[in-house]
Structure 1
Amino acid sequence: MNDEASHQADKRVREALEAVYRTFDSPLPKVIEGCPCCISTRGTDVLLTTPLRRITGQALWRYVSGAFLTIGDKEDFRYLLPRILDVSVFDPRNANYPEVVLGKLPLAGWRSWAPNEQRVIEAFTDAWFEQALASDLAEADDGWIGTGAESVLCGAARAEMPLERWLVRLSKPDAAPVLADLKQRFSGEMSGFWEYAPVGFQALSTILAQGRA
């Protein structure tokens, strides 16, 4: 993928992220609830005393990994969600996997949120996938295929989003290196999180078998 396409993909995901920040702008939660041991070890005080856009990926990592399991509720998750998505895209080395991040959405009951809130999440995920695909293709030019697009796709499946649009995208000629890599890894080297997204995995399996969506 050429530099201009990569630039456009990056611009698009930044614009989609800003829409998430605007849509989910909300007051600072008074407290983050959780089991006592998790509250004391997951650094929740930092999440409530640091301006949202300055919270680091490392500070968010423990919260995200335990969100809705041992810590947190819908209020604080919605407040932190823009920054969680931000660091997922722009600081991935200090972020949870896309499969984990997007997999939290059903636990938050996101399909019961306002329609515009659902739309901005879907639009962001679409832009994130395109940005990840652009990154994977850029690495392909150097002889290496990344797995970012697969991770976002699996995360979207875990969030119970229909995958058709992204499977069609993988069928386009310029995405051929990534699709070929997925086919090669299909025997057992794909994301282990597909186990938790059987409907999405079946849809992906079809395109890998047929070569088109």
Structure 2
Amino acid sequence: MDLARRLAAVRLNPDNPRDHEWARSHPEARLESLVRANLGVLDASLRTTPVYGQVTAIAGRDRGLVDLLAIDHGGRLAVIELKASEDPHLPLQALDYWIRVRHHAAEGEFGPAGLFPGLPVRALAPRLLLVAPALRFHSTTETLLEFLPSELEVERIGLGVEWQRRFRVILRVAGAARPEWPEPPPERT
């Protein structure tokens, strides 16, 4: 079996051990492949295809790579930024990509670039989805999100601790809101 097929088999099979050397050495690549395979679980409003990874977004002479770019059933774009571990730069990095995608959408550049063929891409500001294991959002994320523009529709989506084995959304929080965790059951006496 060639390397690409072996890699896909490891990355896409939830039964593979999370401590497999490929999963350990590239957790964000594993997260990206799992998000692609479970986009409907992540957000049912998104089309499951086409979804583009590592999309170049240009602003002047500067280039950035959007982790995933998707589109919903109404033609609105969604910038999906992924982190497998805590990263204090997540909100600002995602904002940078969101600004670039918003610009390209407003200019109508996605169709001519060959992205989302046959689908109407609306010139609306895209949604921004920040995806990470629920306990891996950096402690500064909420504070930084408070300062983002109000027109930016941002959602933090937290995955269960066993995300490499079982893709499950356990946290969904809009903007800078504080997560509401369920109260633990009372202790038995």
Q: Settle same-fold status: TM greater than 0.5.
A: no
Q: Compute the TM-score of the two structures, normalised by the length of structure 2.
A: 0.31
Query: Which protein is richer in helix relative to its size?
Result: 1
Q: Compute the TM-score of the two structures, normalised by the length of structure 1.
A: 0.29
